Amino acid sequence: MDHFQNPNQKQPGDPPPQTYETYHFLGLELQMMSFRALAKEKARKFNPDTFLATIGEGRKTLAFVKKQGIFAQGDKADAVFYIQKGKVRLTVVSKSGREATLGMLTVGNFFGEGALAGQALRMGSAAAMTDCEILQIDRKAMMHALHREHAFSDLFVAYLLARNIRYEEDLVDQLFNSSEKRLARVLLLLAHFGKEDVPEAVVPKISQETLAEMVGTTRSRVSFFMNRFRKLGFVDYSGGPEGGLQVHSSLLSVVLHD
């Protein structure tokens, strides 16, 4: 006969209760990192740029200058986009006019994939944060490419799974963590914390209003915490080579601290 253990019963080696939220947060991070690792492994074996260049009709490379819109909320959703150069910001606006930042994407990221799931109209907007080169792939051409090349399909699915875990993590973060922890996490994510060979990463110039939208708090609170992070040596406004905000790995202590 099988024996079942009470999942709420403390087991030898379990972490203390007060550290559960930290372990849960790290668990989601590790899940996300595993999917990132999977996507990187797929990319090493298969170059999406090379393959996408073989798509004939239905694709074109577009250039956007900084702050130029790529598509707007409510536009027809008939294509998927792939970032070849630059950074892109995704936003959504409520009926009352309140804007929220959904994410910031960089080279090698896809966006607008809702077009593949039958989405008729764009649920949000996309705009260039820097000068960008974007590959636009029509829905029909993208679907054909996914069916034709299994390695590309695997890479795309791994990317979508990583994005889905990121959204789940964002929700947990919003529900259970303080605004200070949420801001620290956003900065670490924007700086690609944990990326290979980037121990001290730089975040491109970003306004405190945008950070407040991403964190779900006010600009004054963001300003207060940013000043605190600077005084503690977690961030540096000297900007580094890109002229942005330098984020140090020590900022992770804010996320892990209970």
Q: Which of 164, 197, 229 is the C-terminal boundary of a domain?
A: 164
Q: Does residue 5 surpass a pLDDT of 90?
A: no
Residues facing 136 on adjacent strands: 60, 81
Residue 2 pLDDT > 50: no
Q: What is the pLDDT of residue 49?
A: 76
Clarify whether residues 67 and 139 are in a common domain: yes
Most confident of 116-120, 206-210, 245-249: 116-120
Nearest to 82 by CA among 102, 58, 57, 112: 112
Same-domain check for residues 54 and 131: yes
230 lies in some domain = yes
Q: What is the pLDDT of residues 164-188, one digit of tens each?
A: 887 788 778 777 888 898 898 888 8
Residues 82, 191, single domain; the answer is no
Please report, as a single letter, which amino acid is at residue 104.
M
pLDDT reading at 150 higher than 80: yes
Per-residue model confidence (pLDDT) at position 35: 52
Has residue 24 got a pLDDT over 50?
Answer: no
What sign for the dihedral angle of Cα 30, 35, 36, 38?
positive
pLDDT value of position 241: 52
Domains in the chain, number = 2
pLDDT tens-digit map of 108-134: 899 999 999 989 999 999 999 889 999
Give me the pLDDT at residue 3, please: 46
pLDDT in tens, 78-94: 999 999 999 898 999 98
Point out the domain boundary residue: 118, 136, 164: 164
Mean pLDDT computed over 27-31: 49
Domain final residue, candidates 111, 138, 164: 164
Structure tokens at 18: 């007060």
Distance of alpha carbon 12 from alpha carbon 254, whole angstroms: 28
In a domain, 27, yes or no: no
Q: Side by side, which strands form the sheet with 125-128?
A: 69-71, 125-128, 88-93, 99-105
Selected residue with higher pLDDT from 214 and 63: 63
**What would the pLDDT profile of 186-203 be if each residue is shown by its tens digit?**
888 888 765 554 544 677
Residues 231 and 191 both lie in one domain: yes
- Please give the Cα distance from 195 to 4 (Å, whole number): 40
Domain containing 229: what range? Answer: 179-256
pLDDT of residue 23: 43
49/103 same-domain check: yes
Q: Is residue 187 part of a domain?
A: yes
Q: Is the Cβ–Cβ distance between 20 and 27 less than 8 Å?
A: no
User: Is 17 within the bounds of a domain?
Assistant: no
Which sign does the torsion angle of CA 249, 199, 208, 127 carry? Answer: negative
Residue 17: pLDDT band with limits 50, 70, 90: very low
Q: What is the CATH number of the domain that holds 66?
A: 2.60.120.10
The answer, yes or no, to whether residue 236 has pLDDT greater than 70, is: yes
Of the candidates 126, 186, 145, 151, the one whose C-alpha atom is nearest the C-alpha of residue 44 is 151
Task: Give yes or no: residues 160 and 58 share one domain.
Answer: yes
In whole numbers, what is the pLDDT of the chain averaged over residues?
79
Q: Which helix (H) or strand (E) holds 45?
A: helix 20-45
Taken as a whole, the chain contains a residue count of 258
* Percent of the chain's residues with pLDDT above 70: 76
The Cβ-side half-sphere exposure at 82, using a 13 Å CA radius, reads 19
Q: Could you tell me if residue 18 is inside a domain?
A: no
Are 192 and 227 in the same domain?
A: yes
If asked whether residues 125 and 219 sit together in one domain, one would say no
Residue/partner pairs of 238-244 with CB below 8 Å, 24 or more apart: 239/202, 240/200, 240/202, 241/202, 242/202, 242/204, 243/205, 244/202, 244/203, 244/204, 244/205, 244/206
- Do 78 and 123 belong together in one domain? yes
pTM of the shown model: 0.67
Do 109 and 138 fall within a single domain? yes
CATH number reported for the structural domain that contains residue 232 in this entry: 1.10.10.10
Indicate whether 122 and 61 sit together in one domain. yes
Q: What is the pLDDT of residue 65?
A: 96
